[in-house]
Structure 1
Amino acid sequence: MLRVLTLATLFPDAVRPNFGVFVERQTLGLAALEQVEVRVIAPVGLPPFPLSLHPGYRALAALPEQEMWKGLCVDRPRFLNVPATQGRFHVAGLARRLVPHLTRLRESFAFDVIDAEFFFPDGPAAVGLGRRFGVPVSIKARGADIHHWGHAPATAAQVRAAGQGADGLLAVSQSMADDIAAAGIDRPVRVHRTGIDRSRFGSIDRADARQRLGITGPLVVSLGALIPRKGHRIVLDAVAALPGVGLWIVGGGPDHAALAARIAELGIGDRVMLCGAMPHGDLPDVLAAADVMALASSSEGLANAWVEALASGTPIVIPDAGAAREVVIVPAAGRIVARESSAFAQGIAAVLSQPVDRQATQAVVEAFSWERNALELRAHLAGLVAGR
Structure 2
Amino acid sequence: MLRVLTLSTLFPDASRPNFGQFVAKQTAALAAQPDVAVRVVAPVGLPPWALARFTHPALAALPNHETWADLDVRRPRFTTLPGTGGRWHAAALTRALVPVLDAVRRDFAFDVIDASFFFPDGPAAVALGRRYGVPVSIKARGADIHHWGHAPATAAQVRGAGAAADGLLAVCGAMRDDMAAIGMPAARIRVHHTGIDADRFRPGDRAALKAGLGVDGPLVVSLGALIPRKGHDIVIDAVARLPAVALRIAGEGPEAARLAAHAARLGVADRVTLLGGVAHDALPDLLAAADVMALASSSEGLANAWVESIACGTPIVIPDAGGAREVVTRPAAGREGSGRWVSPGSDGAQRASPARAQAWRRSICVI
Quote how far apart the aligned CAs of 1:269 are: 1.2
2:288 paired residue number: 288
Quote how far apart the aligned CAs of 1:174 are: 0.2
2:311 paired residue number: 311
2:131 paired residue number: 132
Structure showing greater relative contact order (alpha-carbon pairs closer than 8 Å, 6 or more residues apart): 1
1:116 paired residue number: 115
Quote how far apart the aligned CAs of 1:203 are: 4.7
Which residue type is aligned with residue 118 of structure 1?
F
Q: How many residues align?
A: 350
Q: Does 1:344 align with 2:353?
A: no
Quote how far apart the aligned CAs of 1:341 are: 4.4
**More displaced, 335-344 or 306-315?**
335-344
Distance 1:44 1:33 in 2: 27
2:341 paired residue number: none
SS in 1 for 2:366: helix
1:33 paired residue number: 33
Seen in structure 2, the aligned counterparts of structure 1 residues 350 and 267 have a Cα distance that, compared at 3 Å, is closer
**More displaced, 234-243 or 131-140?**
234-243
Quote how far apart the aligned CAs of 1:204 are: 2.6
TM-score by length of 1: 0.88
Quote how far apart the aligned CAs of 1:105 are: 1.1
TM-score by length of 2: 0.93
Which residue type is aligned with residue 345 of structure 1?
R
Which residue type is aligned with residue 308 of structure 2?
E
Distance 1:346 1:326 in 2: 23
Seen in structure 2, the aligned counterparts of structure 1 residues 203 and 220 have a Cα distance that, compared at 3 Å, is closer
SS in 1 for 2:134: coil
What runs of 5+ residues in structure 1 fail to find an aligned partner? 352-388
Detail structure 1 runs of 4+ shifted over 4 Å in the superposition: none
**More displaced, 238-247 or 150-159?**
238-247
**More displaced, 31-40 or 186-195?**
186-195
Distance 1:326 1:163 in 2: 23
What runs of 5+ residues in structure 2 fail to find an aligned partner? 339-351
Seen in structure 2, the aligned counterparts of structure 1 residues 345 and 244 have a Cα distance that, compared at 3 Å, is farther
1:152 paired residue number: 151
Note the 1:1-388 alignment, pairs <5 A: 1-55=1-55, 57-187=56-186, 188-338=188-338, 340-351=356-367
Distance 1:77 1:28 in 2: 20
Which residue type is aligned with residue 200 of structure 1?
R
Contact 2:18 2:279 in 1 (8 A): yes
Which residue type is aligned with residue 100 of structure 2?
H
Which residue type is aligned with residue 185 of structure 1?
M
Quote how far apart the aligned CAs of 1:50 are: 3.2
Contact 2:203 2:313 in 1 (8 A): no
Contact 1:292 1:348 in 2 (8 A): no
* CA offset digits 1:276-323 (Å, max 9, x no partner): 111111111110000110001010000000010010111111111001
Contact 1:242 1:345 in 2 (8 A): no
Contact 1:160 1:185 in 2 (8 A): yes
* CA offset digits 1:130-168 (Å, max 9, x no partner): 011000000000000000000000000000000000000
Distance 2:310 2:360 in 1: 18
% identity of equivalent residues: 67
Contact 2:337 2:359 in 1 (8 A): yes
CA RMSD in angstroms comes to 1.2
